[in-house]
Structure 1
Amino acid sequence: MNVPWTHAGLPTISLPVGSAANSLPLGLQCVGRFQRDEYLLAWAAGLAEVLGMV
């Protein structure tokens, strides 16, 4: 579901955050401001660390 954001020129990243009760994967989609790709990546790396994904 990143396509609408990408077409708008906004950076996106999806992070896996676990599994639902039925074992299907859950993800968190993060969208950054226009031309702030590096900021989004740095923020997502910190978020991944807090969520215990690294």
Structure 2
Amino acid sequence: MIKRAKLLGYARHPWLVSLMERRSAKVAAVALANKIARIAWAMMSRNEPYRAIPVTAER
């Protein structure tokens, strides 16, 4: 997803691309893993399905 965020840019992964502008790709990968783990934990603890948030281009 790190490579795809560089290619697709702000439209699909704005927080990840902005993070990669400030930090290295390795730090961004750890942040992405942390985000995915938190989403998975919240889904399992609440017994809810994944609800994707619509992405809006704000540029």
TM-score normalised to structure 1 length: 0.40
- More helix by percentage: 2
- More strand by percentage: 1
